[in-house]
Amino acid sequence: MILDDIVIENFGVYAGRQQAILTPGPGKPVVLFGSMNGGGKTTLLDAIRLVLYGSKARLSNRGHQGYREYLRDAIHRHADPGTGAGIRLRFRRMIEGETHSFEIQRHWRVGVKGIEESFRVLHDGSPDDLLSEHWDETIAAFLPVGIAHLFFFDGEQIADLADGGHAAEIIGTAVNTLLGLDLLERLTADLKLFERRKRKETLDDNALTALAEAEAEVTYLDQEIKRIFMAKGALVDEAKRLTEEVDKHREAFEVTGGDLYRRRDELKADHEELLKEKTHCEDTLRELVAGPLPLALVDDLLAAVETQARREIEIRRAKILVEALEERDQAMLAALDGKLVGKDTLDEIRRILSADRAERTGLAHQPLLLAADDQLAEQIAHLRATQIPSAEREADRLIRRLGQLEERLAHTEDQLARIPSEDSIRVAQNALDTAERDHRTKLRELDRLREEQATLQRQHAEANARLENLSAANLEARIEADDRERILEHSARVRESLQALHEHALARHAENIQALMLESFRRLLRKTDLVGGLTIDPRSFEPSLSDPDGRCLPFDRLSAGERQLLATSLLWGLARASGRPIPTIIDTPLGRLDSSHRRNLVGNYFPTASHQVLLLSTDEEIVGHYYQALDPYISRRYLLEYDPGKQATAIRTGYFATDEATSRLHTHQLERERNPDQAEEANRNSPLEPVVQIGAVQIAES
C-alpha cells in the first residue's frame, strides 16, 4: 500500500482546501511534516484514520463523544457548517500481482436533520458503489482497525506502552487480530451466550430471576468498563494538552526571569556574604599597610640602616676600648714617672703607647649617626627576613582574592539587577501555577479512573464467575432433556477445542513474533549486551526480558528512553510479523527520548520502518544533526503553518527555515515555478513526482 496524496477541507485546524502529495521517491521512503505544537500534526493523523475507518476510527480527541457529535465539532470553526468538511485520500495497493488505485472520499455537513455524511470509493478512477457499500469489510481484509495502531501511532502511545500498563492489552489485541484469533474469541463468547439461553429453558422462576440479575450485573459492568475506558481516553488527551500548556507557561516564566526571581533570596544572601568577605579582606589589607608592609618599598634603605647600626656598635666598642687604654696608659706613665726611667725614655714610652692606641682604636673617632641601642640591627634584620616577606605574601593573597570577589560580586549584582519585580512576574507565575495545578488535577483524575477501571474489571471477573457457577449449578439440577444436555455438552467441547486451537496458534507463531520484536529492539538499542531474550506470555501477553545469561531483566532496570525504544520495537516487531506492506505514520516521533536514543531511531528505525514513512515532527525533534542524518531518506517535506489571526493551519512545502535543506528545497521549487512546462513534462514522465496545487500556483516536489 502506498499513500499518494491527501486533501483536507475545513477539518479541525485546517481551513479551506489543503493538499499534500505523499508518494515517496525511490530509496527515499520518508515524507517529513514539521509543525509547532498545536499546528495540526495529530489532526493530520486523525484525518487519515477517519477517512479510512469512519465511526470505528480511534481518534485522539474524540473521547466519549458520539461519532456524529465528533464530526460536528471537527468542522473548522470559521467554515460554513452547511458546506461542512471533507477528507480525500488516494492510495495504491497490489491485488493478485496487479497495482490498483483507490480514492476514498468522506464528506459531512450540518443539514436539516443534523450531520449528513457521504462516503464514496473510486477504484482505478471510476466510482465503485459496491466497494463503497462494503468498504468496512474491504479495509478490514488488509488493514483491520485492531492493528492500525501498529502502523499509525504517536509519541504518547509509545510513552503509554513504555509505562507497561497497557503493553499486554495492546500486544494481545494485535496478535489476536494478526492471527485471526479474535474470530475464535467472538465464537467462544457466542457459544457461551448460546449455552446460557439453553440453560434458561430448564430453570424455575427463582433460578431465572437470579440468573437474570447476574446477567444484568455483568451487562452493567460491561457498560461501566466501556464508559471508564472512553473517559480515560478523554483524560489522557486532556492531560497531554495540559502537559504542553505547562511547558509553554514554564518557558514563558523562565523568559521573564522566573528562575532568577525564585533564587532572589539565595542571590541576596550570596551577595551579602561576598560583601562581608570583601570587607574583611580590605580590613586585613589595611592592617598590613598600617604595619610593616610599606617598608618593603625601602628595603635598600633598611639594609643601609642595618649596616650603619652594626657599624655604630663597633664604634661604641672602640670608644670604650680607647677610654680603657687611656686609663691604663696614664696609670702606667704615672707609675714610671720619678722612677729610674729617664725623661727621654718616658717620652718614648708615651709616644709608643699613643701610637698603639691610635692604631687599635681607629673607629672610635668616627661619628655616631643613629646613636641607637644595640638591638636595632637585629630588629631590622628580623623585619627584613621575616616580617616584610610574610606581609608581602599575605598582601598578594588578599589582592588575588579581592579580584575574585569583585568578579563574583559583579556577576551577582548583574543577576540581582535582572530580577524582575513581583508585579511583573506575578502574571507568569500565576499562569504557571494554574497550569501545573490543572495538570496535577487531571493526573489525579486519571489515576482515580484507572483505579476505578481495575476495580470494575475485578468485579466483572467475579460477576462472570458467579454467573457461570449459577448457570452450571442450575443446569446440573434442572437438565431434563437429553438432546439439550447433548447440545450443551458439545458446545462445551467446541469451546475447549477453540481454546486449544487458540493456544496452538499462539504457540506456533509466538516464536517468530518474539524473534522479530527482539531483533527490532536490538537494532534500536545502543547497549547490544543488555538484552539476551524477549518472550511473550501466550495467555496474558505480558512481555518479559532476560539478560544474556538468561536471568530475568525487570523493566524498571531499563532507563525511560530504553523503555520507549522497547515499546517502539514491540510495535515494529508486530508490524513486521503482520507481513502487510502498510505505510508507517508517526506523530511526535522522538518525544521524550534523550539524544543517544534519538540517534538510534533516526538512524536505525525511520529509514527502514516501512517502504513509506510519514513523520510528524515538532521544531525540537527532527532538526539539526537529526535532520541531516535523515535527509538522504527524505523525499518530501511539508510545513504545517498555523496562523493565529485566522486560527487556521495551511500545508506548505518545505520545512523549518533554519535547515539548509529547506533552503535548497525552496530554490528547487522556485526553479520549477519559473519553468512550469518542464515541471509538467517531468511529472508525466515520473509518477512518483506529482504536483501539489496550492492556490493558483503549482509546485512540483522532488
**Is 520 inside a domain boundary?**
no
**How far apart are the C-alpha atoms of 300 and 287, rounded to whole Å?**
23
353 CB-side CA count, 13 A: 17
Alpha carbon distance 395, 305 (integer Å): 25
Q: Are residues 409 and 437 in the same domain?
A: no
Buried b (16+ CB within 10 A) or exposed e, 290-322: eebbebbeeeeebeebbebbebbeebbebbeeb
Instruction: Indicate if 360 and 375 belong to the same structural domain.
Output: yes
Q: For residues 422 and 240, is the Cβ–Cβ distance under 8 A?
A: no
In this structure, is residue 581 part of a structural domain? no
Residue 252: CA atoms inside 13 Å, Cβ hemisphere, count? Answer: 17
Same domain flag for 225 and 293: no
Tell me, yes or no, whether 380 and 432 share the same domain: no
Query: 220: number of CA atoms within 13 Å, CB side?
Result: 8
Question: Position 649: which residue type?
Answer: T
Last-in-domain residue among 402, 417, 432:
417
CA distance 474 to 202: 8
| CA dist 218 → 34, 177, 222, 333, 646 (Å) | 47, 25, 6, 150, 50
Tell me the per-residue pLDDT of 211-258, one tens digit each, with 9 for 90 and over.
778 888 888 888 888 888 888 878 887 888 888 888 888 777 777 777
Residue 150, C-beta contacts closer than 8 angstroms, at least 6 positions apart: 174, 571, 574, 575, 578
- Residue-wise burial string across 326-364, b where 16 or more C-beta atoms lie within 10 A, e elsewhere: eeebeeeeeeeeeeeeeeeeeeeeeeebeeebeeebebb
For the chain, count helices (H), then strands (E). Answer: 21, 17
How many Å separate Cα 649 from the centre of its chain?
Answer: 26
String of DSSP letters for 589-650: SSTT--HHHHHHIIIIITTTS-SSEEEEE-TTTS-THHHHHHGGGEEEEEEEEEETTTTEEE
Q: Which residues contact 270 (CB under 8 A, 6 or more apart)?
A: 412
Residue 229 lies in a domain: yes
Q: What is the pLDDT of residues 290-313, one digit of tens each?
A: 888 888 888 888 888 888 788 777
Residues 434 and 372 in one domain: no
Q: Sign of the C-alpha dihedral, residues 538, 544, 548, 549?
A: negative
Query: Does the residue 430 lie in any domain?
Result: yes
Is the domain of 340 the same as that of 406? yes
Q: How confident is the model at residue 693 (pLDDT cuts 50, 70, 90)?
A: very low
Residues 405 and 430 placed together within one structural domain of the fold: no
Is 385 a member of any domain? yes
Q: Is residue 553 part of a domain?
A: no
C-alpha cell at 378: 637585629
Whether the pLDDT of residue 691 is over 60: the answer is no
Residues 353 and 391 in one domain: yes
In a domain, 467, yes or no: yes
| 280 and 401 part of one domain | yes
| Range from 173-182, 183-192, 490-499 carrying the lowest mean pLDDT | 173-182
What is the number of domains present in the chain?
2
Residue 16 lies in a domain: no
Tell me, yes or no, whether 301 and 411 share the same domain: yes
Where among 417, 449, 467 does a domain terminate? Answer: 417
Domain membership of residue 231 as a residue range: 206-257+422-478
Per-residue model confidence as pLDDT tens digits over 187-223:
767 777 776 776 666 556 676 677 778 888 888 888 8
